[in-house]
Amino acid sequence: MRSIRFSSTTLAVLVAAAGLSQQGMAASAGQWSYEGDTGPSSWETLDPAYASCGQGANQSPIDLASPIPAEQPAPVFHYSAGGVDMVNNGHAVQVNYQEGSTLTLDDRDFQLRQFHFHAPSEHTVDGRHFPLEAHFVHRDPVGNLAVVAVLFEKGESNQALEPLVETLPDKAGEKVRLDSVFDAADLLPIKTAHYRYNGSLTTPPCTEGVRWVVMKEHPTLSAEQIHAFETAIGMDNNRPVQPVNARVIVD
C-alpha cells in the first residue's frame, strides 16, 4: 500500500488538530512512558491529573478470570471505512478515524474515534498474555468512553492487518497517510461473544468510568506480523494488569 509521509512540522499541526490522542484522553508523548522513572508504577507521581493511575479502584487492564455468566445484549457495530492515517505517537501505533462509524452499547451510540495497538496484550485471560491487542476507542456526545479490545494470537497471517503492517510508522512522531481508507470492521471477530466490565483508560490520566468490551474470539496473526508491530512500537507498551477489587466481570 502506498503512503504519504509528513514532515515533523506538518505532523505537529495535524496531531494538534486531531484533538484526540491515544485512548482519547492520554497525555502527549514524553510526559510518561512504559519504562524506568516515568513507567507505570510512577505515573501517578508525574502529574496531579494522573492521580487515578495509582489511587483509582477501577483501573484497566485486568486479568479476565472467573467471569459471571449473564444475559447481555451483544455490542452492535456500525462501522464503515474511515481509517485515513496512522501515527506512531511514541506510545503506540494508532489509526485515526473519520466520523460516521458507531458502536451501540447500553442503548447508546458511541462514535469510533481511533484504534491503536499494544504488544504484548494488556488484558490477560486466566493469566495468559497475547502477542497483540487492538483497542477501538469510542466516545458518545457527552464524553463517555467505550473501548472494544480484540486479542490476537499467533497463527496464520491476518490479511486484514496486512495493509497496516505494510506501512507501519516505526519512529516516534512519524505519521503516514493511508492510500486506501481502512475499514476497522475487518479486524473484528466474527462472533460477538465478549466480556464486559467497568474500567479505565490504560494510559495516563487513567480516567475511570470506561465501558470495556473484550472480545472472546481471538483472530490470528503471523510471527512476521507480530515482529513488525513489535519493531514499530519499539518497546513493550502494555500496562501491567490491575486489581479487580470489587468489580464484576460479566460474560
Express each pLDDT in 129-169 by its tens digit.
Answer: 999 999 999 999 999 999 999 999 999 999 999 999 999 99
Structural domain contains residue 250: no
**In sequence order, what are the residues at sequence separation of 6 or more whose Cβ sits closer than 8 angstroms to the Cβ of residue 11?**
87, 173, 174, 175
Cβ atoms of 131 and 226 within 8 Å: the answer is yes
Q: What is the pLDDT of residue 5?
A: 43
Question: Of residues 78, 91, 194, 227, which has the active-site annotation?
Answer: 91
Q: Bigger pLDDT: 71 or 160?
A: 160
Structural domain contains residue 239: no
Structural domain contains residue 85: yes
Residue entry with cell 495516563: 204
Q: Which domain holds residue 205?
A: 3-233
pLDDT (average), residues 5-26: 38
Structural domain contains residue 245: no
DSSP structure class, residue 112: E
At 172-205, the pLDDT tens digits run 999 999 989 999 999 999 999 999 999 999 999 9
pLDDT (average), residues 82-94: 97
> Domain total for the chain?
1
Distance, CA of 239 to CA of 200 (rounded, Å): 12
Q: What is the pLDDT of residue 20?
A: 45
Domain containing residue 9: CATH number:
3.10.200.10
Structural domain contains residue 251: no
What residue type is 196 in one-letter code? R
Structural domain contains residue 246: no
Cβ atoms of 143 and 124 within 8 Å: the answer is no
Structural domain contains residue 243: no
Q: What is the pLDDT of residue 179?
A: 85
Our answer to whether residue 123 is catalytic in this structure is no
Structural domain contains residue 207: yes
Rounded to two decimals, what is the model's pTM?
0.89
pLDDT (average), residues 72-98: 96
Residue entry with cell 513507567: 39
Residue 213 has pLDDT above 90, yes or no: yes
DSSP structure class, residue 50: G
Distance, CA of 53 to CA of 201 (rounded, Å): 9
**In sequence order, what are the residues at sequence separation of 6 or more whose Cβ sits closer than 8 angstroms to the Cβ of residue 112?**
79, 82, 97, 101, 102, 103, 136, 137, 138, 184
Residue 236 has pLDDT above 50, yes or no: yes
Q: What is the pLDDT of residue 72?
A: 87
**What Å distances lie between residue 166 and 3, 83, 174, 181, 251, CA to CA?**
10, 15, 15, 14, 35
Radius of gyration of the chain (CA): 17
Distance, CA of 249 to CA of 65 (rounded, Å): 8
